[in-house]
Structures are given as structure tokens and as C-alpha cells.
Structure 1
């Protein structure tokens, strides 16, 4: 038992150092990474705290096994093996560097024969009592509270609450049965119970919005098994109750569970919805909030914690995938154990040498180690210029899982880029879109004669904002746009892409990887690039500008009721009536559709369709669309027909 305690003590110290680093980095991690990654880190560290096995033990066990002899050996060899085993005992004590006084038996105070008890044995006994007391306090508190809830609580039969719960269970794909109980003494909503979970609600009046957020919050806890995670944290804290850093870790981990749950509840939600969610949390704060049991998902938090949750919920910055941080912690944990093991082995070796000096025995198996490490050779390429292959494999990380796709080389005018096979199709010059979702698009712009500064300024005028990673970002409606600039000699190229806001964990992870494959003047002769129809005709930039100006002037005449001014924008063969807008409302919110970078802009049979979106104050709850069928007449564009929709 003493050996187990010493192993746990050593692990407690090494993990405690990592906890200090992680807590010091908490502001940075919360700003850049989703809270679920910190939760996974705490779970890993908690499991490590409960496994009393040091990395350094591996070499010791292998060495001991290699020195074990079959029972058929000669008596002299058995004697030697016993001597070697005896030599190992003090070596392991030196590993932990305990004072010799702690292992010496305490002198008996009476003349009776008493078993030898050392200070170390007493320390181990105190540790065991403390761990058991810690666990019993929490388990008894949990059992008493749950018994009280079952005895005095009232089963909820409200149809609205039950239907809301059923709908959320389907949404979150929860199969477990859960009872809903109203309890007057409950301080906040929570999930209680391990085998038969109970949703506990205080006897309060909730609005429909508050009820939705409360139920979804607790259902997310249930879906992820957070009560079991908290039990893991409490158990780790019980085993390492003597280490204040582990207490601090548990406290931080519980906060991160709530932050992660908040992020899941508000995932893909608008700013208004997230703000409403914080108001629900605030209403819970104003009610009585006294912590009852750690083994529940109690909707609890002091003012500082709630302020931290509000900030995290309302944060607009896009959170990054934290798999790298998790891997770094795993490696650091293993590294700490390895360093301790190496230090232990060195001390053991020195001790063994001291013990064998003057005895004439130079064959002590524990007094000597072989250096089994070999230099690792690093291969370098020959320095030749790389030639782009017609296919490659792209690797994406989505929800922490690796996904690979085969990509083909798409060749453009002076550049190339890899696109996943059978997923993308050309939609115009230097423009591609996905077959699965037409809102997901990627396009290349060559800023001819522009510098990086002027191209950057042009993007700012278009509404792009520079992020920390130097990428440009903007949002328009339900779409997120990204832009990256690359300079090659005297040329500046822009790589643009967009995707829906609710596709962050899908296209938001895939498109940046695709954009990184962009290369200028790649050798593309004979490659199987994505096909592009050279016979198709598309609007050029000057066409878009001409149509934009014409629609603006037409709109002024159309809404002013000036039929004569309208006629000059029509084709010569126009035979219909010249309609003008008939309304007393105020016209606003003009937007020309069909001319943006994300539109296909393909000319079909010599005609092109565009539309003017606007609002009428008499009908503010809807948009109207004035649609134009355009055709080229001579060197300019004219309106072949037009009509009002909406």
C-alpha cells in the first residue's frame, strides 16, 4: 500500500504542475478554443490521477523480469537472485527520496509486542482515512438529497413541459428514460441520478423561452453524461485530497463543464438568441442558489462564474479545434512521468554502485543500465523543384476526428488548387461551388497591378475584417466569407470562400485546408483537372458594373413613375406596357441580386437574369423583387422584360 501511495504522490505532483500551467493559460484557451477541449483535458488528467503507475516502472519491471531465473537453477544461482532482489528494495525507496526516519519503526511505548509501524505507514493510513471520508461525505450528501427529492418532490405532468422534453430528447438523440420532478426546496434546475436520472425543477414560474433554455441545458448535460464526469472529478479529488492543486483542478473543471454545455446549447444561434439565454441564466442567479451536491448538474454559479459564462456565450470570435492542445497535454503528462523515471533510474544506478564498491561484485544487475537509444536519421529531399501531382490526399479534422479525401488538381489561368473529387463543379471563371450546397463556394481573384496594401484596403472596403491569423472575414446574412491574400513576385492573388454560418464544423474545417493548396504557375500539362466548359459565356466585371448602373437608374424612374425615362433602358423590340410602381409606401433596402462574387453569372442563350430586392413601408414584413431579363443590344445591355414579384 505504501508503494501505491508513493506512486500516487509522485503523479499528484507532476499533474499538479500541469494544472498550474493550464489555469495560467485559461484566459488564452477560453478565447481561442471551445470549452469541451478543456473538459477533455481535465478528464484525461483525472484518469491519470487514478492510475497509480509511473512510466519509470516499465523499465524496472522489465529489468526485474529479465533477471528472474527458472526454479530449476542451481542453489548458488538462487542465492544470487535473492541477493539481487534484496538490493532492489532499497533502490525503490531511494527513488522516492523519503527520509530514512519515515521508514524506521516507531519504538514501542510499552513492553508488549507491537507490530512495527513507521511514520510512512501512519501517513498512508491518514491518506486512506481522508480519501474514504471525502468520498463518504459526498456520497451520503448525494444519497440524502436524492431520497429527500423522491419523497417530497412532485412528478411533473404539465403537457407543455413534457412535450418540450420529448422534442429535445429527439433532437439530441437521447434514448434514456428520465423523470421530471418539481421540488420546492430545489435551488436551481439539475440532473440527479446515475442509473435512473431525474430532471429536477424548482417550483417557479418560467416563460416559454426560459423553459426551453433550462430544459435544453439539462438535456445536454444528460446526453454527455456530465454526472459521471463529475463523479470522476470527485473521485480524483478524494484520492488526492492532500494536494490543493487538485482541488483547484476540480473547481475549474466544473466551470468548464458549464461553459461547454452553454456552447452546445447556443451552437449556431444568433446573437439575439444567445443574449436571451444569458438572461435566463441571470434570472437563475437572482433566485436562491446554494450548492447542495457535487454529484449533479446543478444550474449553479456565483457572480464571477456567471460573468465568465456570459462573456463566453456572447463571444463573437470563432473558436478553434483544440485537439492539438489536448495532444500537447497528453504528451506533457507522459513526458513528466518519463523525466521522473529517468531521474529515478539514475539515482538507483548511483546507489547500486555505492553499495557494490569494495565488495568485488561487479555484476549487480540493478547497478548498471545500457543506453538503448539510437540516433534518429532524418531524410531530406534532393532539393529538386516539386512537380504537382494530378491527385493528392487532403486531411481534415472535424469534431476532433480525422477525415481524408482524394482531391484533383484544378487548373486556372496562372494558378492551380486541389479540390475534393466529385464534390466541386465550376460555376464561372475562377469560381467553383459544391454540388451538395450551392451556398458553399470558392473563387480566385488576381489583383493585377495591385500591391498587398492596396489589395488589403480593397478587402476592407468590401467589409472584410482582419483576424489574428491574418485572414479576412465578414458575415452577410447567414453566410460567412473568408479571404486570404498571397503575394508571388509582383502579383497578388486572393483566395475567397464562403459557407453557411451553421456549417462551421463541416465546411468551416474543410475549406481552409483546400485554400492552402493554392499555388501559382503550377505545371498542369496533362493533369486530370476539374473540367471547365470553354464554350460557356459569363458576365465580366465590366458587364456587372454596367448592369448595376442601369438597374440603379431604372429603379429611380420606376419608383418615380417616369415611363418615358424607363423606355430608354428597354430593348428596341419591347412591345409590352411600361409599368411603374404603384404604392404610397416608402421604398428602402435596395439590393441588386445576381451580380455578387458568389453568383454564377452565366449567360444563358444570350440573356441574363438579375433582380432588385427592396422593401415597401406598407409591407415591412416582406421583401419585394423586381426581376429583369437582360440581353445585349449592340455594345450595351438592355432590359428585354421586367416584372414585380413578392
Structure 2
């Protein structure tokens, strides 16, 4: 889970910078872009903020494992002179990153739960208090507007005391609600055109995505800037859709309707709805646009392609960042004063064969060594994220630890192979050995799982010599090709 949180942090920071650049460009550019163009750009950025992933490079990495006895098939030669990091199999405790991760998760869950509860309560009240409109003129207006906009969905029309502003609500069962106040038939016709334009543009789905993104990135203030800009762009786009059908007198009536509705509105509305006049801070600019008969705003196709390409670059850049593995398998980054030492060279007759613990088409999800955030003491591998794969002893030895207690490493095994060598196998689904048991090379000792502080099924594998951590790829050179 820490990996996901760190990916979200990186993505949120990059998206925040891009959002500020876009905001500055829209504000100071001499060109006036259509509201729908802005919508597409902001939605592209919004979608990119929900794609925190990294790329795993796969390579076939197979070995035939024997049942019980030692095998010489698909084994690797131990390479002497590897770099070591003064550590040992110290089992780290939960650190500040774990605390921040749970704080982020708690905040996200709380915000989402609160918004969904408010939306549900508001929807129920609207449904209970609303009366379906049976007036022939209104029903005819709805049918004509739906036909003009190419809407085949049966959208119901209600009147209610529960809202001061007209709004469209309901992702799967959309309905338009009109307040119970006196409005001219021409005003209601303009309002219906506006609200149905929201449906045609799938704005309710966009607002739902917006709710999720603001909940996930609640710690980033720029997220709320994106939310504000997107909602304004959606309203302006629907205004433009209405005004294409209007002359100047109808524009004045539409502007008057927006002002009257904004003055009547008192309470807040749920995010997953499309109110007619919700943002009072942009009301003056909105009315100026309505009354302006200038339809020369640039469609901005070139800009839209460029901006969306920039968003795509952001996503790919974040995807190419190696997955930060700061979980139970990590320890503090060694200080600059820490000297990495090399094991003494050995003669060829001292070389011994090792067997990699997992067979199959493997991926390295977190390599050994210093990454963006910490020092990873081992190697994380997975076979297509599958649980239950057999884990075999890399060499013969004695099991010195077989821990199934609740721990950051989850279920893990430590084997002493003699000559100062030990290996650790962590996050196992279950163990098949006990402490003090003698095991042969290739013998099944556990199964791949996701216990402890883990985000998915994988094996965390460490090698130690004389109390110092070794890089597993020095023992298994073929693993370097998987990086």
C-alpha cells in the first residue's frame, strides 16, 4: 500500500504543476478557447491522476526444480566479490511512511463516504418530495429538446421544494428537478435545454470522477483548483450550447434567469449533480459571456491535442518511475558515511551452485538497492501476480526462523546454509517447514503470498553473508536481464 501512496504523491505533484501551467495559459493567453475545449483538457488531466502505475519488464526465467534432492539443472554460480551493505536480517518496524499511508487512506475513505452519504440523502429527499410534471407544455418541451440534442433516454421531469435551483441528478436514472417558484415558460425552456446539455455531454459521469479524484488527492490543494476550473468550463459549455439557439433578446432572458436562480440559491448541493447556477464567484464573467454576441472563440484543436499530449507524457513519465518499494522489506537509507565493503575474493574451488527459489516467467517488481525513497535490502519477484507458487530452498541448510506471527514481513523463513550464508523468504502465503528442520536444496519450504506489509503476491528474497546483505543478482546473474 505504501507503494501506491508514493505513486499517488508523485502523480499528484506532477499533475499539480501541469494544472498551474494550464491555468496560467488559459488566463493570460490572447486566444479565447471554447469551453468544451477546456473541458476536454481538464478531464484528460483528471483521468491521468487516477493512473498511478509502473512498468514491469518481463523475461522468461524458468528452472526445473527437483523434488527433494539437490539438482544441477538451471542453477547459478555464486559470484564472489559482491558489494555488501552493513545490515543483517533486521526486521524493520512500521515507520512514518506507514503512518502517512494510513492517514491518506483514512482521509480518502472519510471524504468519499461523507460525499456518498450526502448524495444519497439528498437524492432520497428529492425523490420523496418531488412531483412528476404532467403539464403538456413542459413535456412537449422536454421531447423537442431531447430530439434536438439526440437524447433517446427517458429523462423524467419533477418539481420540488427541496432545491432552489434547477438541476440534473442521477447517473443511471437521470431526472431534471425544477424548483417550485414562478418562472416564465420561456425561462423553463432555456433551463431544460441547459440541463439536458449536461446529460448529452456526460457531465454527471465527469462529476463522479471529479469526486473520486478530489477524495484520492485530498492533500493536494491544486486538486480543488482543477475541480473549480472543470465545473466552470462545464457550465460555460452548456451555456454555449443553449445560446447557439438564441437571439439577443433570448440571451438577455437567459442571463436574467441565471441571475435570479443564483440569488435564490441558499444551500450547498452534492457534487454528483449538475445545478443550473452554483458558482457565484464566476457569475459576473458568466453573464458577460452570455450577453456577448461574439462567437469567435477559438476551437483550439491544435492546443487541445498539445495539452492532451502533455498529459499523456505526464502519465508515461510517472509510469516509467520505478516502483518505490518502501515496505517491511526496507530499512533506512545508508548515510554517506557508511562504507560499502566487498567480500574477499574466493578461488574457483570455493564456488558453489545456487538455485533460485521460484520458477517460471518472473518479473522483478522491486530491485535490490537504493531507490527513490529508501534502501531495499532484497529482491521482489512475482510470476504474473499469482499466489500459491512453490518457494524452494536456494541451498541446503537448517531453518533458523519460521515465523507466522503477525509481522511486517508476514510469514517468512530464514535458512542458515553454513559458511556464513543465510537466505530470507518473506510475505509467504504459508510455510511448510519448522525451526530447526534440515532442508535440501530445491525442497519446498513455503508458498508465494501477500502477507504482512505487501501490496500483492510476491516473494521478497534476501541473501546474507557474515551478517552483511548481498545483492541477489550477484549470486544469480541472469536476474539482471529482468531489470
- Structure 2 residue 302 is matched with structure 1 residue 324: yes
Which residue of 2 is the match for residue 231 of structure 1? 208
Instruction: Tell me: CA distance 1:317–1:154, structure 2 relative to 1, closer, same or farther (3 Å).
Output: closer
Instruction: Mark the structure with the bigger radius of gyration.
Output: 1
Which residue of 2 is the match for residue 45 of structure 1? 45
Shift of 1:334: 3.7
Alignment of 1:306-325 (within 5 A): 306-315=283-292, 316-325=294-303
Contact 2:11 2:318 in 1 (8 A): no
CA displacement 1:203-255 (0-9 Å, x = unmatched)? 01111221111110011111222111100111111111111111211121111
Contact 2:48 2:315 in 1 (8 A): no
- Structure 2 residue 144 is matched with structure 1 residue 152: no
Shift of 1:180: 1.2
| Aligned length in residues | 324
Q: Distance in 2 between matches of 1:237 and 1:360?
A: 55
Instruction: Tell me: CA distance 1:341–1:180, structure 2 relative to 1, closer, same or farther (3 Å).
Output: closer
Shift of 1:28: 4.4
Alignment of 1:213-612 (within 5 A): 213-267=190-244, 269-315=246-292, 316-336=294-314, 358=342
- Structure 2 residue 16 is matched with structure 1 residue 24: no
Contact 1:16 1:246 in 2 (8 A): yes
Structure 2 unaligned segments of length 5 or more: list them: 66-71, 324-333, 346-365, 370-483
Alignment of 1:184-203 (within 5 A): 184-203=161-180
Shift of 1:343: 8.0
Which residue of 1 is the match for residue 62 of structure 2? 70
Which residue of 2 is the match for residue 14 of structure 1? 14
Which residue of 2 is the match for residue 166 of structure 1? 143
Structure 1 unaligned segments of length 5 or more: list them: 91-102, 106-115, 346-350, 369-646
Normalising by structure 1, report the TM-score. 0.46
Shift of 1:30: 9.2
Shift of 1:275: 2.6
Q: CA RMSD in A?
A: 3.5
CA displacement 1:606-636 (0-9 Å, x = unmatched)? xxxxxxxxxxxxxxxxxxxxxxxxxxxxxxx
Normalising by structure 2, report the TM-score. 0.60
Q: Distance in 1 between matches of 2:184 and 2:224?
A: 37
Contact 1:46 1:236 in 2 (8 A): yes
Shift of 1:140: 0.6
Which residue of 2 is the match for residue 124 of structure 1? 101
Moved more, 18-27 or 308-317: 308-317
Instruction: Give the match's secondary structure for 1:301.
Output: coil
Instruction: Give the match's secondary structure for 1:25.
Output: helix
Q: Distance in 1 between matches of 2:49 and 2:314?
A: 13
Q: Which has the higher contact order (CA 8 A, sep 6+)?
A: 2
CA displacement 1:414-434 (0-9 Å, x = unmatched)? xxxxxxxxxxxxxxxxxxxxx
CA displacement 1:296-351 (0-9 Å, x = unmatched)? 00123344311121222234150122222222223323434566677879xxxxx9
Instruction: Give the match's secondary structure for 1:199.
Output: strand
Q: Distance in 2 between matches of 1:78 and 1:29?
A: 62
Q: Distance in 2 between matches of 1:46 and 1:5?
A: 17
CA displacement 1:505-553 (0-9 Å, x = unmatched)? xxxxxxxxxxxxxxxxxxxxxxxxxxxxxxxxxxxxxxxxxxxxxxxxx
Shift of 1:270: 3.1
Instruction: Tell me: CA distance 1:79–1:216, structure 2 relative to 1, closer, same or farther (3 Å).
Output: farther
Q: Distance in 2 between matches of 1:325 and 1:104?
A: 52
Which residue of 2 is the match for residue 33 of structure 1? 33
Instruction: Give the match's secondary structure for 2:302.
Output: helix
